[in-house]
Structure 1
Amino acid sequence: MTRGIQGASAVVGVAERHYRRGQSPDSEQVMTLRAILDACADAGISPREIDGFVSYAGGSNDGPILGAALGIDELRWSNMMWGGGGGSVAAAIINGATAIAAGQADVVVVYRAMAQADTGRLGYAKYHYGPHFLAHGVGSPAQICAMRTQRMLEHDGVPREALRSLVLAAYHHAQQNPTAQAYGKALDAETYDSSRLIAEPFHLFDCSRESDGAVALILVSAERARDLRADPAYILAGAQGAPGGYSESIDNDAHYSTAGFGAANNGKPGVAERLWSSAGLGPDDVDVVQVYENFSGPAVAALIDHGLCPPGEAAGAVLTVDNLTAPNGKLPVNTSGGNLADAFVNGLNLAVEAVRQIRGTSTNQVAGAQTSLFIGGPMAPLVSSVLFSNSAALREG
């Protein structure tokens, strides 16, 4: 359970910089430092006050190195989340919230940077997949997630159209977001359907784009957050983990077609159930969702795992373009354009949009949004989710 972090901290500063793949004018380290400085300016605090650094999915931009460059007064918390890809992105935010709740740090920055010139591309995940995959020509996230998604479509009965609706909604949102890479590039159903296959059942537009960029979020205690700004995004709840055996090292688990947020193999509550239990809320209480779409299929599976839509054929009635589109949809999803149509900085940019929804500053704002759910990378060895809220929802929760 994560009751100890409920409402104890809040995000008070956010920043993101993103560029088309390979076009960053700076190194990962320089982009990271610039993003942290921007986030501190957004929060109204000095970067010297940062005493905690949290990141995920590898990288060489360690907290002590960044702290020295920023001239911080003291380093008290420095962690890297394991798990592969973007599965641990929300867990990184939980990690920062835990440090603050436990009194181990006062000002924590959660960050991630990617630059093709520094670390190459993520499309071929040789660092992650074992020889049992590579020996058979399976070496990319697209191929792994395609197999799980195909099972979800064929065995579970989720309609193929649900994937298309998620993609079209993301591209629709991108048309109102001037910084999105798909801005000015509207997508219709015919273009989507006729695009080339990447790994069945994924067409071109089902796949996230890779970007150069950096993202930073500044977390402080709830008490300080209230002094800094009128619209902090409180950490209401968070959870991370995976059912036993749910990893690419086996890939023959009982939950093969899910996103990994469900119950453990021993029947104990999984990530999604622990999130709701900790929050004291349920899926019907969520106003807006940012779900990590490495590919459209895993994102659909993640929405099902969290109880935001039913499984099987019934998912198609909920996952329609109208329902998924802000401001009037019943389940507005990925309101900046998401990894598919906005940018892909290993998913942390989705957390920034989740915070913007709480602030009321999104380019596709959901009116009166009090709760904003951020779901980390699905179909990964470890998955995670975090629920943000404003002060009103925090009191109700």
Structure 2
Amino acid sequence: MSGFHPLRDRTAIVGIGATPYYRRGQSAPRTMIELVGAAIIAAIDDAGLRIADIDGFAFYSGGFDTGLLMETLGIPEVTFTASITGAGGGSAGAVGLAASAIVSGAARTVICVGGLQQIGQRFGAITASYAATPETAFFASAGLIGPGHLFALLASRHMHLYGTTREHLAAVALNARANALATPHATMHRPLTREDYFAAPMIAEPHCLFDFCLENDGAIAAVVTSAERARDLRHRPIHVMAGTHGGAREWGRSLYWMNMPDETFASSGNAAIARRLYAMAGIGPEDIDIAQFYDHFTSQVIMQIEDYGFCAKGEGGPFAASGAIAVDGTLPINTDGGQLSGGYIWGMTHIREAVEQLRGTAANQVAGAEVALVTGGPSTLPVSGLILRR
């Protein structure tokens, strides 16, 4: 693949900042604005910039807004502010949104930030809190109280169509835990064995306890600026080769709809994003060195491996079980433990890990890593993708 695209390599991530990954609800008494503000300040400091240099925001997730952040941090003026909608799918797209603003001239230096705080509503059971409407009637009446229950139906269909097994799901969970053990800021530092995995309680068949992501509080921010300006800052620029969000109509509301064609139902809904992302970057799956897949459930990692072209449809399970996804494999995946064992901050952890890998400072450093894929979702549209390079 080749060809010109106006966003390719025109911008770069120059700073990353994060709070600790708190267990669900344990960030109190810190407020969401404190968490997000701390991550932003850390990212600006990491870039070697000043608060006054920020003139744009690209948000993912909620609980904070532009005016409050400007007042709290002392940012004098912004010329661009926007937010990606969705519920889990937009994290990678926030960087693409920032890149678009910079290339268009709407802003010079943009903060991408996402935060999560589960002091009240637990996201693992969020669908149980939805009001009764015609749109919620199907899953509410079926007792599908959280995303893990709904995505279990997609996993079961993938197993039926392609022969995917729980052994394949276990390979994803065990890889994530092995990577988290060597990552200082990861949440889980207790080893996980195959025996542990299969002895765990079944939450929503075929998803057991270890097929579910963690439930954390925290915030992560990234600073994006022009490639020209990035050359003069503190760290090696991590260039944005491509960043996009959206998706195909047949995926729609994904787990809240359940009316997709069979091939789409047993997928991650990322195929349309993958095609556009590779075309934008001018590369293909063979050029990706590491992948940070949105791993709210093990089954959806397997389906993303397929949607992004690393193997044929239905072969994601054997691909994961082959060892290819290990740090020393052909496609290292979620090298910090991902959301299954590292930390769950709406997918923003994957952006952090991709940047650290390409800087050469990651805990589980992949030798020679130069190009990274980051995904947002599977979830309700928009889902998103990002390709970064050294």
Q: SS of the counterpart of 1:3?
A: coil
Contact 2:305–2:316 (8 Å) recurs in 1: no
Matched, 1:133 2:139: yes
Contact 1:299–1:378 (8 Å) recurs in 2: no
For 1:257, the equivalent position in structure 2 comes to 266
Q: Deviations over 1:211-266 (max 9, x none)?
A: 0111100101100111103511111012222221322453211111110012xxxx
Query: For residues 108 and 83 of structure 1, do their structure 2 counterparts lie closer, same or farther at Cα, with a shift above 3 Å needed?
Result: same
Matched, 1:237 2:242: yes
Query: For residues 39 and 3 of structure 1, do their structure 2 counterparts lie closer, same or farther at Cα, with a shift above 3 Å needed?
Result: same
1:79 Cα deviation from its structure 2 partner: 1.0
CA RMSD between the two structures? 1.7
Matched, 1:92 2:94: yes
Work out the CA distance in 1 between the residues paired with 2:355 and 2:168: 26
State TM-score, norm by structure 1: 0.91
Question: What does 1:40-79 align with in structure 2 at a 5 Å threshold?
Answer: 40-57=44-61, 59-79=62-82
Work out the CA distance in 1 between the residues paired with 2:52 and 2:185: 29
For 1:345, the equivalent position in structure 2 comes to 345
Gap runs ≥5 in structure 2: none
Matched, 1:165 2:171: yes
Query: For residues 2 and 298 of structure 1, do their structure 2 counterparts lie closer, same or farther at Cα, with a shift above 3 Å needed?
Result: farther
Letter of the structure 1 residue corresponding to residue 162 of structure 2: D
- Aligned equivalent of 2:301, options 299, 315, 319: 299
Contact 2:302–2:317 (8 Å) recurs in 1: no
1:315 Cα deviation from its structure 2 partner: 3.0
Work out the CA distance in 1 between the residues paired with 2:239 and 2:357: 12
Contact 2:47–2:235 (8 Å) recurs in 1: no
Contact 1:152–1:158 (8 Å) recurs in 2: yes
Work out the CA distance in 2 between the residues paired with 1:191 and 1:275: 38
For 2:6, the equivalent position in structure 1 comes to 4
Work out the CA distance in 2 between the residues paired with 1:230 and 1:12: 6
1:144 Cα deviation from its structure 2 partner: 1.1
1:2 Cα deviation from its structure 2 partner: 9.4
Query: For residues 186 and 321 of structure 1, do their structure 2 counterparts lie closer, same or farther at Cα, with a shift above 3 Å needed?
Result: farther
Gap runs ≥5 in structure 1: 263-269, 391-397
For 1:122, the equivalent position in structure 2 comes to 123
Q: SS of the counterpart of 2:68?
A: helix
Range that drifts further, 316-325 or 288-297: 316-325
Letter of the structure 2 residue corresponding to residue 106 of structure 1: R
Q: Deviations over 1:47-76 (max 9, x none)?
A: 12111111123x231122101211112111
For 2:41, the equivalent position in structure 1 comes to 37
Matched, 1:202 2:232: no
Q: Deviations over 1:75-94 (max 9, x none)?
A: 1111111122x111111111
Count of residue pairs brought into register by the alignment: 377
For 1:367, the equivalent position in structure 2 comes to 367
Q: Deviations over 1:352-376 (max 9, x none)?
A: 0011111001100111111011011
Letter of the structure 1 residue corresponding to residue 268 of structure 2: A
1:379 Cα deviation from its structure 2 partner: 4.1
State TM-score, norm by structure 2: 0.93
Letter of the structure 2 residue corresponding to residue 123 of structure 1: G
1:300 Cα deviation from its structure 2 partner: 1.1
Matched, 1:318 2:319: yes
Letter of the structure 1 residue corresponding to residue 149 of structure 2: Q
Work out the CA distance in 1 between the residues paired with 2:379 and 2:301: 9
Contact 1:16–1:215 (8 Å) recurs in 2: yes
Letter of the structure 1 residue corresponding to residue 99 of structure 2: A
For 2:188, the equivalent position in structure 1 comes to 182
Letter of the structure 2 residue corresponding to residue 6 of structure 1: R
Range that drifts further, 245-254 or 345-354: 245-254
For 1:142, the equivalent position in structure 2 comes to 148
Work out the CA distance in 1 between the residues paired with 2:124 and 2:381: 17
Letter of the structure 1 residue corresponding to residue 117 of structure 2: A
Contact 1:289–1:334 (8 Å) recurs in 2: yes
Q: SS of the counterpart of 2:161?
A: helix
